[in-house]
Amino acid sequence: ETGVTQTPRHLVMGMTNKKSLKCEQHLGHNAMYWYKQSAKKPLELMFVYSLEERVENNSVPSRFSPECPNSSHLFLHLHTLQPEDSALYLCASSQESGSETQYFGPGTRLLVL
Amino acid sequence: AQKITQTQPGMFVQEKEAVTLDCTYDTSDPSYGLFWYKQPSSGEMIFLIYQGSYDQQNATEGRYSLNFQKARKSANLVISASQLGDSAMYFCAMRELMDSNYQLIWGAGTKLIIKP
């Protein structure tokens, strides 16, 4: 595996479900990011982790809970989501947080019913 | 106020022609960076090219070049000899220092369709 991978690629869940999105980077980077991409809106930064420590949380509702167990893995735990949370969730990584080019995974397309 | 403006929501271009995608930005930070990404329908955001605010020359990467006009605060992407595989969404982004952290600020994107 190379680059940044994300699983699952597609997810349909009900508002009462609990699910998790997984991201893994094979680039030896120290920073990882979660973005939300909704239709017709610019990318929204959700969370930034640098060396497994959260350095940014852009006023994201608590129904989204990130976890970074090591510098290669990043999770986004989802619970009691709303239909407006349906979007493409993109994971990215960079050598250091913020100052370097970010490389993205293929994203998870989430539909909340 | 928008910090990154991409004025072209969509463009149709004939295959093999050159195409210019517009991007203007707004910042008071003297040190910033500008990025272009391509997003095909599959969803993955693919890094294309980077220009630093202090770079003296325009960035080039294969068929991609960045027309950086600092005084006008524009960073247009030029794709030479367009190919069918260039059809995608293209996003301009700016790295800026915000609240002691660098963040990427994204434009709304331009949908490029290459016609055969």
For A6-48, write each residue's pLDDT tens digit: 999 999 998 888 999 999 999 999 999 999 999 878 899 999 9
Which residue in chain A is spatially nearest to B111 when comparing CA positions?
A: A40
Looking at residue A56, what is its pLDDT?
73
Distances (CA, A) of A67 to A34, A49, A56: 11, 9, 13
Of A48, A56, A104, the CB nearest to B45: A104
CA angle A88, B48, A43 (to 5 degrees): 30
Which of B3, B1, B33, B5 shows the shortest CA–CA distance to B109? B5
Q: Is the peptide bond before B30 cis (omega within 30 degrees of 0)?
A: no
Token pair 């999105």 is found at A21
pLDDT above 70 covers a percentage of chain A that reads: 97
pLDDT above 90 covers a percentage of chain A that reads: 73
* Cβ distance of A101 and B50 shorter than 8 Å: yes
Looking at residue A57, what is its pLDDT?
73
